[in-house]
Amino acid sequence: MMAENRLYTIGQLAKAAGVGIETIRYYQRRALLPVPQVSSGFRTYSAALTERIRFIKRAQELGFSLEEIGNLLLLEDSDDRKAIRHVAQERLTQVRSKLADLHRMESMLSHLIHACESASAQVQCPIIQALGQEEPAPLPACHPTHRLAGQP
């Protein structure tokens, strides 16, 4: 038998694809993988499904939801590259938005840590103070030489 014509049990397919049996069953319930007919008393799976499972796992690693992955698989079957690019572009936009959020959080935390290091012991810790405010005040630019008012 040629490798692509090889048939696997669910356990063999799971092992070949590097996932658990329950993952395959879950993907079947989500209609990402077909549920094969029973043959010779048990279900057999095409070896080609290992590639599809790897696709699903890699797409999840890139942050695609299972719904988006299902759409990509449908689009792949129709060879609609424009629509595939659109789905990927939407995901890229989401990633860039998350990166911008992470950069803002990094900047804020960096500033608060610096402010806490240079604050006098007589005032409330700037980290605690900032996190307890209803509306956080805009942060001033934080430079290594930045000093809080009244600090030497």
Rg (CA), the chain: 26
DSSP 64-90: --HHHHHHHHHHHHHT-HHHHHHHHHH
Query: Taking a C-beta distance cutoff of 8 angstroms, is the pair 94, 63 a contact?
Result: yes
How many whole angstroms separate alpha carbon 22 and alpha carbon 108?
A: 42
Instruction: Specify the pairing of strand 42-43 against strand 38-39.
Output: antiparallel
Report pTM.
Answer: 0.66
Per-residue pLDDT of the chain (152 residues; tens, 9 = 90+): 345 678 899 999 999 999 999 999 999 999 999 998 787 788 899 999 999 999 999 999 998 999 999 999 988 878 788 999 999 999 999 999 999 999 999 998 898 888 888 877 777 788 888 888 777 555 544 443 344 444 44
Confidence (pLDDT) at 143: 40
Q: Summarize pLDDT for 101-141 with one digit per residue, the tens.
A: 999 999 988 988 888 888 777 777 888 888 887 775 555 44
Confidence (pLDDT) at 145: 39
Amino acid letter for position 37? Q
Which residue, 87, 3, 9, is CA-closest to 48?
3
Confidence (pLDDT) at 132: 82
Confidence (pLDDT) at 138: 58
Six token digits for residue 44: 């057999």
Six token digits for residue 54: 């790897």
Confidence (pLDDT) at 125: 83
Confidence (pLDDT) at 137: 57
Six token digits for residue 74: 């449908």
How many whole angstroms separate alpha carbon 112 and alpha carbon 118?
A: 10
Confidence (pLDDT) at 127: 84
